[in-house]
């Protein structure tokens, strides 16, 4: 060793000092450094894991937010459609109700007008009878049997003579309903007479309706289905006019 220039004692001291320094470094620096690095790795790993979890949570939150937004938009669209449909339905209902009310008002007005017209015509019937009698008396210059004259005028307007509907005498008719039209409103007694004769022809189950049309002038027009029995004065005048042509 000495031949090599190495002092054994000094070498041993150096080795011993190195071992002491190594032990001290291992005990006080290397091991804490390893622990610190391990903790550092664990902290980084936890940070990465936390970042991954946070990223997944954010992605899930964004996905849920998109789903909630899409659902909200669908619900909003549905509410708007329902509101629009309901609004349209309400508009249609209001329109139909208004139209129905207008139709009903028109019908009521027409009924009232018809009733008022028939009332006026009924009053006119008495005035026509009085004027006719007065005119006849003036023409012949003597008094007439007013009761008989009124009976003749009633027969003229009602188409009923001696308790019978002249138009139905000798007629064979069938049907389930009849419309009776007179120039002036028939009295209750005259309606009963007409109804009795018509039902006697059609049967008790038939229905009868009465109408007023001054244009026929007098007598009756009876419609049974598509068949018309015309005993009106206007009809007779028209027939007479055609026969004279």
pLDDT on residue 8: 64
**Distance, CA of 245 to CA of 241 (rounded, Å):** 7
- Please indicate, yes or no, whether residues 72 and 151 belong to a single structural domain of this protein: no
Helix (H) or strand (E) holding 164: strand 164-165
Q: Is residue 111 assigned to a domain?
A: no
- Please indicate, yes or no, whether residues 155 and 219 belong to a single structural domain of this protein: yes
- Please indicate, yes or no, whether residues 163 and 101 belong to a single structural domain of this protein: no
Count the domains in the chain: 2
Q: Is residue 162 assigned to a domain?
A: yes
The mean of the pLDDT values for the chain is 77
- Please indicate, yes or no, whether residues 94 and 173 belong to a single structural domain of this protein: no
**Distance, CA of 8 to CA of 165 (rounded, Å):** 168
Phi first, then psi, for residue 159 (nearest 5°) are 70, 15
Domain final residue pick, 106, 136, 162: 106
pLDDT on residue 155: 66
Cβ atoms of residues 158 and 188 within 8 Å: no
- Please indicate, yes or no, whether residues 99 and 177 belong to a single structural domain of this protein: no
Domain final residue pick, 59, 83, 106: 106
| 203-219 residues labelled b (16+ CB within 10 A) or e (exposed) | eeebebebebeeebbbb
- Please indicate, yes or no, whether residues 150 and 238 belong to a single structural domain of this protein: yes
In the numeric block, the tokens 């349209």 are attached to 88
Q: Is residue 114 assigned to a domain?
A: no
Encode pLDDT of 138-169 as tens digits.
444 445 555 665 666 666 666 777 778 877 87
pLDDT confidence bin for 128, thresholds 50/70/90:
low
**Distance, CA of 230 to CA of 157 (rounded, Å):** 13
pTM: 0.46
Q: Is residue 233 assigned to a domain?
A: yes
Domain final residue pick, 53, 86, 106: 106
User: Does 104 score more than 80 pLDDT?
Assistant: yes
Encode pLDDT of 221-236 as tens digits.
999 988 888 888 888 7
Encode pLDDT of 29-58 as tens digits.
667 777 788 888 888 888 888 888 888 888
Quote the domain boundaries for residue 15. Answer: 9-106
Give the lowest-confidence range in 10-24, 131-145, 201-215.
Answer: 131-145
DSSP states of 50-102 as a string?
A: HHHHHHHHHHHHHHHHHHHHHHHHHHHHHHHHHHHHHHHHHHHHHHHHHHHHH
pLDDT on residue 179: 93
Q: Is residue 168 assigned to a domain?
A: yes
Phi first, then psi, for residue 50 (nearest 5°) are -65, -40
Q: How many CB atoms lie within 10 A of CB 128?
A: 17
């Amino acid at each position: 060793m000495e031949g090599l220039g190495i002092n054994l004692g000094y070498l041993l001291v150096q080795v011993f000092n190195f071992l002491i320094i190594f032990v001290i470094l291992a005990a006080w620096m290397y091991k804490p450094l390893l622990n610190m690095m391990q903790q550092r790795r664990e902290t980084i790993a936890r940070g990465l894991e936390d970042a991954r979890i946070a990223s997944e949570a954010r992605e899930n939150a964004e996905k849920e937010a998109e789903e909630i937004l899409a659902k909200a938009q669908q619900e909003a669209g549905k509410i708007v459609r329902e509101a629009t449909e309901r609004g349209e339905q309400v508009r249609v209902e209001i329109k139909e109700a208004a139209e129905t009310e207008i139709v009903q008002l028109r019908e009521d007005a027409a009924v009232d007008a018809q009733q008022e017209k028939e009332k006026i015509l009924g009053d006119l019937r008495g005035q026509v009878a009085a004027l006719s009698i007065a005119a006849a008396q003036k023409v012949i210059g003597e008094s007439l049997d007013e009761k008989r004259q009124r009976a003749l005028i009633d027969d003229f307007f009602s188409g009923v003579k001696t308790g019978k509907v002249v138009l139905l005498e000798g007629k064979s008719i069938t049907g389930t309903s009849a419309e009776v039209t007179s120039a002036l409103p028939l009295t209750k007694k005259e309606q009963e007479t007409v109804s009795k004769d018509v039902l006697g022809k059609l049967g008790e189950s038939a229905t009868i309706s009465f109408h007023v049309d001054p244009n026929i002038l007098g007598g009756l027009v009876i419609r049974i289905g598509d068949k018309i029995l015309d005993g009106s004065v206007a009809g007779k005048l028209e027939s007479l006019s055609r026969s004279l042509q």
